[in-house]
Amino acid sequence: MNPLVTPTWLASRLQNPNTIILDATLPPVGVTPPVDTHARYLDKHIPGALFFDIEELSDHSTPLPHMLLTSEDFSRNMSSLGVGNDMTIVVYEQESVFSAPRAWWTLLTFGAQHVYLLDGGLRAWTEAGLPTESGPVHRVPATFHATLNQEAVKNLSQLKDKIANHQQIVDARSAARFNGTAPEPRPGLSSGHMPGATSVPFTDLVEDGRLKPAEKLRDLFLAKQIDLNQPITTTCGSGVTAAVIALGLEVAGAKNVSLYDGSWAEYAQHPESIIEKSS
């Protein structure tokens, strides 16, 4: 299934009460002062769109960023938001490709049946001359029964087994952070990479503010010697842009993709973790 949909496709379903639209825009990293993406959502969004707050919809019982909620907590949050797991869910973001794939992956991992990402996001929607609205949106509560797909998400122990067994690990961070030549944005963490990991900066999957077409993605992964027919685990700094890689792999035709939720924020803080740097 191609997870990407066009503005025209979404526009034809805008009045369908079974279609849910979610703005899942996180503030870009390293921009000071931080961008208030919720305020931008209130100012301008696709009609009927709800705000999917990735930061808020994360597990705050752990110091690790953006970790998945429990199934019970995710069920409760989605139900109260008005999102049912049998609905057609379309996720988008305000600019480029950064955080919306994390919402796409989270919803799928918790058992939503029909989740898509709007190709080109809000910019493509407005460039197509389609309407927007402002202000808050409220929907009547729905029923979301979250069931975690254990195969889709990996923990630290499983990640280390993959390293030991030389399985494919794809790192979405910048090449400089991967190589250890640029610092991590989180204090106290060494940069570098996991043994055997392959560097594919998530920005390499994006052109003109949208995901590259399938053929270009396949060429990119092939050039990095990534076998789309073998298991692949994606990782990044905090589990957000690892989902961009997961989305790109899905579009390219990969069959067995998982995401290491703790990512570098967890891996690099453990003293026994092996960290390699490129000369």
Q: Which residues are catalytic?
A: 236
Q: At what angle do helices 100-109 and 242-252 cross, to 10 degrees?
A: 70
Q: At what angle do helices 242-252 and 214-223 cross, to 10 degrees?
A: 110
User: Which helix (H) or strand (E) element contains residue 92?
Assistant: strand 88-92
Residues in the chain, how many?
279
Cβ neighbors of 81 (< 8 A, separation 6 or more) are 50, 52, 139, 142
Token digits for 137?
A: 């949106």
| Torsion sign, CA atoms 173, 176, 178, 183 | negative
154 vs 151: CA distance, rounded Å: 7
Q: Give whole-number Cα distances, 75 to 49, 70, 162, in Å.
A: 19, 8, 30
**Best CA proximity match to 85, nearest among 7, 12, 20, 25:** 20
236 vs 271: CA distance, rounded Å: 19
